[in-house]
């Protein structure tokens, strides 16, 4: 069975707000465009979906992205610079894709993703093994 991989990109990150309305293009939207542009030549473009998310609730750590796949740990990264981090994100996504368990050791991550880790969430399959009601 093929595992589906997704790279979520928060599109409200690094927004400028005026009277409750977003003004102009957010940093997250710019990062998403850069990822989509680089993704056109990425060898995993058909294996790893790049998907916009309206908000990932990590506003104090913008820009924010996440790697998600069934049976793998989920990673949430933040504090990514709008300019200059897209290629590092795709490189790390490739590493994530190649790992059966999705674990990304700190020493193997590209530089912007070494300092930007916000969370590593265990795979849902691990939680299924535990009977929480007992």
Query: Is the pLDDT assigned to residue 126 strictly greater than 80?
Result: no
Residue 93 maps to which CATH number?
A: 3.40.30.10
For residue 51, the enclosing domain spans 5-128
Give residue 134's pLDDT: 45
Question: Considering the domain boundaries, does residue 38 fall inside one?
Answer: yes
Query: Is the pLDDT assigned to residue 95 strictly greater than 90?
Result: yes
Question: Considering the domain boundaries, does residue 133 fall inside one?
Answer: no
List Cα–Cα distances, 129 to 16, 119, 123, in angstroms. Answer: 44, 21, 11
Q: How many domains are contained in the chain?
A: 1
Give residue 2's pLDDT: 66
The three-state secondary structure class of 11 is: coil
pLDDT band at 15 (very low <50, low <70, confident <90, very high): confident
As a whole number, mean pLDDT of residues 44-55 equals 93
Q: What angle do CA 12, 15, 91 make, to 5 degrees?
A: 60
Give residue 65's pLDDT: 97
The three-state secondary structure class of 94 is: helix
- Say which residue, 130 or 75, is predicted with more confidence: 75
Question: Considering the domain boundaries, does residue 50 fall inside one?
Answer: yes
pTM of the model: 0.87
As a whole number, mean pLDDT of residues 68-76 equals 94
């Amino acid at each position: 069975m093929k595992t589906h991989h997704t790279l979520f990109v928060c599109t409200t990150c690094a927004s400028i707000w005026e009277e409750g309305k977003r003004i102009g293009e957010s940093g997250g939207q710019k990062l998403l465009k850069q990822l989509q542009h680089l993704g056109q030549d990425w060898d995993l473009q058909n294996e790893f979906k790049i998907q916009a998310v309206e908000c990932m609730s990590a506003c104090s750590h913008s820009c924010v992205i996440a790697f998600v796949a069934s049976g793998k740990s989920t990673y949430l990264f933040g504090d990514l610079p709008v300019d200059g981090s897209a290629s590092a994100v795709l490189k790390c996504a490739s590493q994530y894709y190649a790992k059966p368990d999705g674990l990304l050791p700190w020493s193997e991550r590209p530089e912007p993703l070494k300092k930007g880790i916000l969370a590593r969430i265990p795979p849902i399959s691990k939680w299924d093994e535990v009977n929480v009601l007992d």
